[in-house]
Amino acid sequence: MLDTEALAAVRRTLEADGFHLDAREDGGRLHVTVTADPGTCGDCLVPKDVLRQILHRALGTPVRSIDVTYPHDTLAKDTRAPDTLGAPDSLEETAR
């Protein structure tokens, strides 16, 4: 079950810049969709790996279990492999 208080803190941070976060759990995965108000710079968000780290720290959800969709993802189909594969569970793992 999601920690709604911790999730609300992340939402407030994004909303201050014109973004909105929707999160749902499904089969052990956390699906996060970020949308933007009209006129908001969709490319101005932190990289997805950074948002995953923020969510991991706030919610305790493993980074590899967090799927992130950003506003520009719905405008053009991304033909790259899913970016959740191989992501470390923490920045500390990246440094190793």
Percentage of the residues of the chain whose pLDDT score is greater than 70: 76
**Distance of alpha carbon 13 from the chain centroid:** 13
Indicate the pLDDT class of residue 67, thresholds 50, 70 and 90: very high
Indicate the pLDDT class of residue 42, thresholds 50, 70 and 90: confident
The more confident residue out of 39 and 84 is 39
Determine the pLDDT at residue 90: 56
Question: CA dist 52 to 25, 27, 39, Å?
Answer: 14, 18, 25
- The pLDDT of residue 21 is above 50: yes
Q: Which two tokens stand for residue 2?
A: 């999601």
Q: Which two tokens stand for residue 12?
A: 């407030």
- The pLDDT of residue 86 is above 80: no
Domains, the chain, ordered by start = 4-95 (3.30.300)
Determine the pLDDT at residue 45: 92
